Chain A
Amino acid sequence: NAGVTQTPKFQVLKTGQSMTLQCAQDMNHEYMSWYRQDPGMGLRLIHYSVGAGITDQGEVPNGYNVSRSTTEDFPLRLLSAAPSQTSVYFCASSLGLLASSGAGELFFGEGSRLTVL
């Protein structure tokens, strides 16, 4: 059972370039999310999805796009990379948002370290 798989693990971009961080889960989880982790700031929510075809913005959505065409996949797109987007990105999934479906018990990927020059 792979759990949550993120690719790539490391990426270096130049300012203005675009890229997609891939996230896939094989646990049939309805809820998926993207976080960024910066030193001293904990995790900040970028975008999330409560099911296929449904996405919503989190705390820091600017500069990022997401889509959820299948239950399994939730890619994060950087449209025009900026140095401020240098961070470690985590994809996470869970059964759902409600207490009855394991709300908050997130399963995380290993993270993707992105550097924008």
Chain B
Amino acid sequence: AQKVTQAQTEISVVEKEDVTLDCVYETRDTTYYLFWYKQPPSGELVFLIRRNSFDEQNEISGRYSWNFQKSTSSFNFTITASQVVDSAVYFCALSEMDSNYQLIWGAGTKLIIKP
């Protein structure tokens, strides 16, 4: 069974629309970490955020926000007022003690922002 599921393979929206990328995870550990990474068309992966399992507060950074809900094992990522530069593949990942804290990656969601 997949430990990190990103059910949306590809999302396409028009610029300035809000868009939410879903991430559902599975773990038996009580201490774990969740991540989002961005891979723009240039190919290099860029770290966006890390959350630990004890901190369910939502995080906002400019137009980006993250909603962590342990009750539904989800860590969703919302981009408000999307821009063309947000076009990228976005990966959600999990780090847990059971896996020796190595990152377990979702398959990624390709986000296309049309002008």
**Residues on A facing B (Cβ under 8 Å):** 33, 40-45, 48, 58, 88, 90, 92, 97-99, 103-111
Contact = CB atoms under 8 A, between A and B. Distances in A.
B44 A110 contact: yes
**Nearest 5 Cβ contacts at the A-B interface:** A42-B105, A108-B45, A97-B101, A43-B105, A42-B107
B20 to A, nearest CB: 19
For this complex, into which size category does the number of interface residues on chain B fall? Answer: 20 to 34
A43 B105 CA distance: 6
Which of A44, A58, A104 neighbours the largest number of chain B CB atoms within 10 Å of its CB?
A104
B102 A111 contact: no
Contact of A88 (B9, B43, B102): B43
Contacts of B4: 42
Nearest to B33: A104
A58 B47 CA distance: 21
Interface in B43-96: 43-47, 50, 52, 91, 93, 95
A106 B103 contact: yes
Contacts of B106: 42
A58 to B, nearest CB: 6
Interface in B1-56: 4, 9, 33, 35, 37, 42-47, 50, 52
